[in-house]
Amino acid sequence: MTTHFSTIEVRNAVGLLASRSLIRLITEIDDNGAIPPRRLAGTFPDLSSHQLRRATEAAGAYALVRTVPGSGLELTDSGAELADLYDAAARWARRHAYPAPVCAFSSRIRHVLDLLAPSLADKNSDIGPWPSAARASSIEADLARPRALLIEWLAGNPQVTHVAHPELVA
């Protein structure tokens, strides 16, 4: 796939998708199933109520989660696809000890998204340099699955590229 996005579209999407609180919310529901709203704070004791509220509001606004009566907050199809993208990015990062041999799951995902961002932006973007041609070829081949999943997910969820999400970046 050769889909490219503008610099601002890539920044907006990565700003949302790389949010530690959103990563935690999506992967927790993916791993353990629906979370009753009253149990959110207990499930994420390390997130402030503000971070948790922003993550759940954003996840709901972008149709990544829905509230099911009697069950709680669960992933939509888009949310499940995002969880698959997160898993693929984390697997690549673990295999390559990126950004470090030991680091948090959400940090691995954020760093992989940052690594993928320049390859998604228009060639004339100012997002930052993509590595040298030889290294780019190796990285791009190795990151093919996470990159394809990201492009496919963005194509199916273009709303995340249109609005900046500065309140989620943390």
What is the predicted pLDDT for the residue at 168? Answer: 59
* pLDDT tens, the chain, 170 aa long: 446 789 899 999 999 999 999 999 999 999 999 999 899 999 999 999 999 999 999 999 999 999 999 999 999 999 999 999 999 999 999 999 999 999 999 999 999 999 999 888 865 544 454 454 445 555 666 899 999 999 999 999 999 988 765 555 44
CB contact set of 119 (below 8 Å; sequence gap of 6+): 130, 136, 140, 147
What is the predicted pLDDT for the residue at 162? Answer: 82
What is the predicted pLDDT for the residue at 134? Answer: 46
Q: For residues 53 and 21, what is the distance between their CA atoms, to the nearest angstrom?
A: 10
**Residue 23: which of 94, 107, 91 has the closest Cα?**
107
Q: Radius of gyration over alpha carbons of the chain, in Å?
A: 16
CB contact set of 2 (below 8 Å; sequence gap of 6+): none
Question: Do 142 and 92 meet the contact criterion of CB atoms below 8 Å apart?
Answer: yes
What is the predicted pLDDT for the residue at 139? Answer: 60
